[in-house]
Chain A
C-alpha cells in the first residue's frame, strides 16, 4: 500500500468517526425533542423582533399585524424545517455543522460581545491549546526522561515504586487534584492564584501581561503534570522495556555499539511509533479533558466554555463544542498517521 492510499484509508476512517459523532448528536437532539425545542425558541425570538418592528410602522391595524406575524412565523417554520420531522431535517443540520455554520448562542457572548457561536469558540481555542500543549509537553519530557531511566532498571526498587505511583496517579481524579492544589497553594501557602487568566487589574503592556498569564497558568499546568506524569512514565517505561528485550538490541550490543547509541538507535528509535501514539493521543485527550481542568481553574478556554454551556443549558453551544472537540481529536489522529509514516517504515504495509 502506497503512502497516499494509506493516508486516504486513514482519512476515510476518521471522517467516519466525525460523521458518527454528528449522527449521534443529531439523533440525540432530534429523538429527545430537544431540536424542536431549540428551533421553536429561535423562531419565537425572531417573531417577537418582527412584531416589534411592525408595531413601529404606522398605518397597520392590530389584525393586520397579527396576520403578518402569523405568516412570517409560518415561513420561518418552513425555513427551519419545523414542519417536517427531525429525521428529515437531520441531513441539513449535519451539513450546517460541517461547514461550521454553528448558529448563535442563547445565553453567552464572546469577549467582544458577539453571540455567534463561531466567534465565541474561536477566541477560546488559543487559551486551551496554550495551556494543554505546555502541560502535555512537560509531561512528555518527564515521562520519556524518567521512563528511559527506569527502563534500564527493570525490577529495581525504583521500578516497583513507579508502578505503585502510576496506579495512584491513574486513580486520582485530575479535577480533584486541582482543588487540592488550590487548597494548598492558594489558601494555605497563598502564593499562587486560584484561577482565572489574569489578575483583576491586569497590566496593559504585552510582556507583563504575558507574565501575569503565565503566573496564572502555573497551578493548572502543575495539576496536569502531576496527574499525568505517573502514567506517562509508566507507559514510556513499558514501551522501552518491551523494545529492549528484542533480539536486535542484543545484536546491537554484540556489535559493540556504545550503550547510549544502543539506547538511542535501537531502543528509543524503534519505539517512536507507540511513543508518538501516546504523545499525540495524550495531547488530544487533554484538550478534551480540558473541560474538567479549565472548569476548576476558571481558565477561559473551550473546556470552561463547555462547562458554562452546560450550566446555562445552551444546547447549540454544547452541540457546536462537541463537534469542535471531535474535530480537534480527529485532526490529531490524522497528524499521528502522518507522523507514523515518518518514524516507522512498516506502517504502510501493515
Chain B
C-alpha cells in the first residue's frame, strides 16, 4: 500500500470577528496517499480555502482556535515553531497556487525573479543560478524563457497562471495545493492549465489538493473527493465511489446538480442557503435543507465509514438508526 503523504485529523480553525466566532474549519479529517490528488468541492464560503490555508498555516490574525493534527509525510507539522515551519515546510514541502491567481504576482518584480526567489531564500542559491533553474521550469511548463524578464502586467491571464504554477513547482514540493486555480480563466485556457496539471502530476508523481466549486473539474484530476459543507467534510472517499455512489444527501444533491449530456434527467437544484459559519446549527448542519431529515438530526452526526477509505457524516448511516 502507498504511504500517505498527508494525514489530517480533527482539524479546527475558528477565528474571531466583531460579529462572532467564525467556525471556518470544524473538525475535518482526510488522507492523501502519495501521488494522488484530493479534490475538495463545496459551495463558496464552506471553508475550502480555509482548509488549504490551515495546511500551509496561513492563519488569520484573529485566529481563535487552531487545533488538530496535520501529518506531512508522517511528520506532525502543526507543532513546528512558526519560524521553522516557514523555513522548512512552506514551499519546500508544501506549495500553493492561490485563488485569484491573477493577483498572485508582485506587479513591480520581474516574473523570473519571483519564480526563482524561493531558491534564493531557502537554498541560498545565487541569483543567476536560480534564474537558470527557473528557466528550466519555464520550459517544462511551456513558457518561453524570454518571459523571465517580463513584468506580470505584460502577460496574459493564462501565461500568468502558468508562471504561478512554475513558481509553485520550483522547489519540487511534496504537496501542491491548488485553490480554484482556473476559475478566472477562459474555458479554453482552463483546459490547457488542467492538462498541464495532469502532466505534472504524472511526471513528478505529485500529490495535490485541488479545491474548486466545480465538481466536474474536480473529477477531471482527482483520485479522491471530499465534499465540504459549512466547515465540515460531509463525505470523503475515492472519486469513483463518491461520484457514482454518493451517500450523504448533500453530496447526492450536489452531484445530481451537474448537468449531463445524453440524459433526460433534469439537473436538480438545492433549495435554500447553507448556514452561516458563525453560530451554525447544533446538530447536523445540512438538516434544514435535507429531504431525509429525522429527529436524530438535531444531534451532531459522527463519521460513518462505508468501507476502507470512504466515510460519510450522516445519521442515516449510523448504527442506531
Contacts and interface: CB of A to CB of B under 8 A. Distances in A.
Query: Taking the complex as a whole, does A directly touch B, i.e. does some CB pair lie under 8 Å apart?
Result: yes
Nearest to B52: A254
A113 interface: no
Nearest to A257: B121
B3 interface: no
Residue of A254, A272, A349 contacting most chain B CB atoms (<10 Å): A254
Contact of B151 (A246, A272, A346): A346
Contacts of B106: 248, 252, 265-266, 269-270
A168 interface: no
Interface stretch (B40-48, B83-91, B287-295): B83-91
A345 interface: yes
Contacts of B105: 248, 251
Contact of A250 (B91, B98, B153): B98
A256 B104 contact: no
Interface of A: 246-248, 250-258, 261, 265-266, 269-270, 272, 343-346, 349
A256 B89 contact: yes
Name the 10 nearest CB pairs between A and B, nearest first: A256-B90, A247-B103, A345-B151, A256-B91, A248-B106, A251-B104, A256-B86, A255-B91, A270-B108, A254-B96
B137 to A, nearest CB: 14
Contact of A272 (B91, B103, B108): B108
Contacts of B96: 251, 254
Contacts of B107: 248, 270, 344-346
Given A251-B98, A256-B87, A344-B108, A349 B58 contact: no
B127 interface: no
B183 to A, nearest CB: 13
B103 A346 contact: no
A158 to B, nearest CB: 15
A252 B58 CA distance: 11
A248 to B, nearest CB: 5
B190 to A, nearest CB: 19
A53 B89 CA distance: 94
Contacts of B86: 256-258
Nearest to B97: A251
A247 B100 contact: yes
Given A256-B87, A257-B117, A257-B121, A345 B108 contact: yes
A344 B107 CA distance: 8
Interface string B98-139: 111101111111000000011001100000000000000000
B103 A255 contact: no
Nearest to A272: B108
A274 to B, nearest CB: 12
Contacts, number: 75
A246 B56 contact: no
15 contacts: A247-B99, A247-B103, A248-B103, A248-B105, A250-B98, A251-B98, A254-B91, A254-B95, A255-B90, A256-B90, A257-B117, A257-B118, A258-B86, A265-B109, A346-B107
Contacts of A252: 106
B92 interface: yes
B91 to A, nearest CB: 5
A247 B90 contact: no
Contacts of A345: 107-108, 151, 153
A24 to B, nearest CB: 38
Contacts of A266: 106
A261 B10 CA distance: 34
With most chain A CB atoms within 10 A of its CB, the pick from B87, B89, B109 is B109
Contacts of A254: 56, 58, 90-91, 95-96, 98
Contacts of B153: 345-346, 349
Contacts of A256: 86-87, 89-92, 118, 121-122
A270 B106 CA distance: 7
A344 B152 CA distance: 12
Contacts of B98: 247, 250-251, 254
Interface string B43-79: 0000000000000101000000000000000000000
A270 to B, nearest CB: 5
B93 to A, nearest CB: 10
Contacts of A261: 121
A157 to B, nearest CB: 15
